[in-house]
Amino acid sequence: MRGCTCHFIVKRLYARPSAALLIYNDRRQHVNKSGFVCHGPLDRDAIGPGAKTVPYICDEIQQQTMALIYLGIPEENILQNHIESVQRYCGSNSKVSMSASEYVRKMGLIIRRSTHELDLDDQVSIRLWVEKNKKSTFIYQDASDTDSFILGVQTEWQLQQMIRFGHHSLMAADSTFGIKKLKYPLCTLLVFDSRHHALPVAWVITRSFAKQDVSKWMKALVDRARSIDFAWKINGFMIDDAAAEVDPI
């Protein structure tokens, strides 16, 4: 179903040619070759008969699209990025484009009509959010006279992909979102799957790119991975800043 790696193996029995042995290889996470969940209990979107015909949109594509809407990126650019992400797994056809257009438009309306302030004070609002999302927060440092604000966000699925594709491989930090527009730019951390497609495995929100601050969230991220797999190690960490000097981890 939609690229799931679960499959049957049929073997004929030599002693009984009219009979066959059926073996079902069950991958409990129900993922495709790229590691994306296709269906089953981990896929909240594959519910009901519509899941057979509606192009699959995984949680990561949804979160990436929502992040672009939050940043105020023009809808045409968001739509183009969203369609490319969906077509990567579903192929190119008019139904995919139509469904993607409707999805982006609806998400934009939902976000514009909703409020995301937990408190009038920004610092209090962030603390409340972190308290409610401890499992998805790998580092949080409040702003003070001596420390810069740092918020690192990583979902459970992202952690799994980072461990899977980042082990003995490269990780990249793309800090191009909001550098000139936002007070606190968004840095996206990427790993690369077997087809060399970039997968976002964490986000860091901070305006400090000082050596000591970058080292803090880099080490926090690595420590989180090693809490699951003690032998986990990356071969290199790429940062899109030629002048940056960061201690190796």
- Please check whether residues 150 and 174 belong to one and the same domain: yes
Q: Tell the burial category of 58 from Cβ atoms under 10 Å away from its Cβ (0-12, 13-18, 19+).
A: buried
DSSP state of 147: -
Phi, psi at residue 216, to the nearest 5°?
-60, -50
Alpha carbons 167 and 231: distance in angstroms, whole number: 9
Reported as a pLDDT band with limits 50, 70 and 90, residue 239 is confident
Alpha carbons 14 and 105: distance in angstroms, whole number: 58
- For residue 248, tell me if it sits in a domain: no
* Helix, strand, coil tally for the chain in percent (to 5): 40, 20, 40
- Please check whether residues 174 and 68 belong to one and the same domain: no
- Please check whether residues 96 and 200 belong to one and the same domain: no
- Please check whether residues 168 and 207 belong to one and the same domain: yes
Which positions ≥6 away from 76 have C-beta within 8 Å?
Answer: none
Domain count of the fold of the chain: 3
- Please check whether residues 38 and 109 belong to one and the same domain: no
- For residue 247, tell me if it sits in a domain: no
Can you say whether the dihedral through the CA atoms of 154, 56, 85, 67 is positive or negative?
Answer: negative
- Residue 87 predicted with pLDDT over 80: no
- Residue 95 predicted with pLDDT over 90: no
- For residue 155, tell me if it sits in a domain: yes
- Please check whether residues 152 and 217 belong to one and the same domain: yes
- For residue 245, tell me if it sits in a domain: no
Q: Where among 90, 114, 138 does a domain terminate?
A: 114
For 126, the token pair is 């962030």
- Please check whether residues 47 and 58 belong to one and the same domain: no
- Please check whether residues 135 and 200 belong to one and the same domain: yes
Residue 34: which domain range?
1-51
- For residue 186, tell me if it sits in a domain: yes
- Please check whether residues 128 and 189 belong to one and the same domain: yes
- For residue 22, tell me if it sits in a domain: yes
- For residue 249, tell me if it sits in a domain: no
Q: Where among 91, 114, 137 does a domain terminate?
A: 114
- For residue 76, tell me if it sits in a domain: yes
| pLDDT tens per residue, range 211-227 | 888 889 999 999 999 99
| pLDDT tens per residue, range 22-57 | 777 765 566 776 666 665 555 555 544 444 445 556
Q: Where among 17, 33, 51 does a domain terminate?
A: 51
Q: What is the mean pLDDT of the chain?
A: 78
- Please check whether residues 228 and 129 belong to one and the same domain: yes
pLDDT value of residue 68: 80
